């Protein structure tokens, strides 16, 4: 058992998605191949502090349950001491400070290799407005949208209402520009909905993306980078129970049906979607792996709606469903991610 790579599984965090992160990190820890890797659970608390968890705390139900026991049962470490504890970081954080380049920047300074893209690509993967601008410039189709900053809304909400009515029009969505898991998202059908949607979104960020309402079938696809090549896994077709793919639909059992491979998307269209997924992945500078979500509209157009620089890794996630279609057990796909990321970091010049 000597010589195993110490893999720090960073979980919890400071974002609205901390519970999702806990589930992802717990599952990664449980499926890490113990023959080659020593799992080191690194819990980030709500203030950004790092703690090395004993194994029995990982099984706690919520981040609050863990937090209440940190001082008595876990070991606090300084950021600069992280390199003494781990050789490699498996980032299981989601949302702000985890998907957006913050933790990636820290790991770059500490010279610790990690899963997923680097600082800039992670930041782009989190910012819905900027990623749409880059994808449009690269010729990748994305939804029509309008950015509304908080000061515009506070100064004269009627001007904003008039703009939204004209473009993109009703129905539409309001979304915080830097949140995941459908947090703060509202379906808007009239001015009253717009007021509610703007206020809900502004609880999470200082700018809101007003985006056109899409009619069609939703999909998700994991992309792996292996030795400079980009390989999409099998496509997942999503049938949420709600009007859109809400937080509950994503994480509550029985709230959504997922078909991997797709149930109603023909094989030739699936291949077209995968080609667009790869284009989006490359345009945003993603590395290692990522998850690209989108829609095949009723008129046949393919739109990329939500490129993610990482992916949830709970047992029933898209990630493991798609890996299973490729004949890969959870431990196998986790090992693949670690090995690929190490090769990528060994070959980089400067920060990833």
Catalytic residue among 17, 212, 234, 321: 17
pTM of the model: 0.94
Cis omega (within 30 of 0) on the bond before 97?
Answer: no
Catalytic residue among 16, 220, 317, 321: 317
Task: Give CA–CA dist 344/228, Å, rounded.
Answer: 9
298 is in an annotated binding site: no
pLDDT reported for residue 1: 44
127 is in an annotated binding site: no
Active site residue 17: yes
Q: Render pLDDT for 149-173 as a digit per residue (tens, 0 to 9).
A: 999 999 999 999 999 999 999 999 9
Q: What is the mean pLDDT of residues 4-16?
A: 96
Active site residue 317: yes
pLDDT reported for residue 34: 94
- If one looks up domain 145-212 in CATH, what number appears? 3.30.1490.20
Active site residue 59: no
pLDDT at residue 80 tops 60: yes
Assigned CATH topology for domain 125-141+215-347? D-amino Acid Aminotransferase; Chain A, domain 1 (3.30.470)
Q: Would you say 290 and 125 are in contact if contact means Cβ atoms under 8 Å apart?
A: yes
CATH 3.40.50.20 positions along the chain are: 5-114
Token reading at 145: 């949208």
Whole-number mean pLDDT of the chain? 94
Catalytic residue among 122, 181, 288, 309: 181
- Residue 59: helix, strand or coil by DSSP? coil
CATH 3.30.470.20 positions along the chain are: 125-141+215-347
Per the listing, tokens 């509304």 go with 148
Multiple choice CATH, 5-114, 3.40.50.720, 3.40.50.20, 3.10.520.10, 3.40.50.620: 3.40.50.20
Q: Which residue has the higher pLDDT, 142 or 255?
A: 142
Q: Would you say 42 and 23 are in contact if contact means Cβ atoms under 8 Å apart?
A: no
Percent of the chain's residues with pLDDT above 70: 96
Pairing of β 186-188 and β 172-176: antiparallel
CATH 3.30.1490.20 positions along the chain are: 145-212
């Amino acid at each position: 058992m000597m010589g195993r790579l110490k893999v720090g599984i960073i979980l919890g965090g400071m974002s609205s998605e901390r519970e999702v992160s806990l589930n992802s990190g717990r599952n990664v820890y449980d499926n890490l191949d113990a023959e080659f890797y020593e799992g080191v659970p690194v819990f980030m608390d709500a203030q950004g502090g790092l703690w090395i968890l004993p194994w029995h705390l990982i099984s706690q139900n919520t981040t609050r349950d863990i937090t209440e026991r940190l001082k008595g049962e876990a070991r606090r470490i300084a950021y600069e001491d992280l390199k003494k504890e781990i050789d490699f970081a498996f980032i299981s954080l989601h949302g702000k400070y985890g998907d957006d380049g913050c933790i990636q920047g820290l790991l770059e300074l500490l010279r610790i290799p990690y899963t997923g893209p680097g600082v800039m690509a992670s930041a782009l993967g989190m910012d819905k407005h900027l990623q749409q601008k880059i994808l449009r410039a690269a010729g990748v189709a994305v939804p029509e949208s309008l950015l509304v900053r908080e000061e515009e809304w506070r100064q004269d909400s009627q001007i904003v209402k008039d703009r939204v009515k004209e473009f993109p029009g009703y129905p539409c969505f309001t979304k915080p520009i830097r949140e995941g898991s459908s947090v703060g998202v509202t379906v808007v059908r009239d001015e009253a909905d717009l007021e509610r949607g703007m206020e809900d979104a502004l609880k999470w960020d200082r700018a809101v993306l007003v985006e056109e309402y899409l009619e069609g079938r939703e999909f998700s696809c994991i992309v792996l980078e292996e030795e400079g090549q980009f390989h999409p896994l099998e496509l997942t077709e999503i049938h949420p129970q709600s009007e859109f793919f809400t937080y509950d639909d994503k994480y509550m059992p029985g709230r959504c049906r997922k078909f991997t491979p797709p149930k109603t998307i023909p094989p030739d269209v699936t291949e077209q979607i995968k080609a667009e997924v790869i284009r989006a992945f490359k345009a945003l500078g993603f590395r290692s792996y990522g998850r690209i979500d989108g829609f095949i509209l009723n008129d046949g157009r393919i739109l990329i709606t939500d490129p993610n620089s990482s992916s949830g890794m709970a047992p029933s996630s898209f990630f493991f469903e798609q890996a299973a279609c490729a004949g890969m057990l959870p431990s196998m796909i986790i090992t693949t991610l670690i090995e690929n990321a190490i090769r990528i970091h060994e070959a980089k010049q400067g920060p990833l």
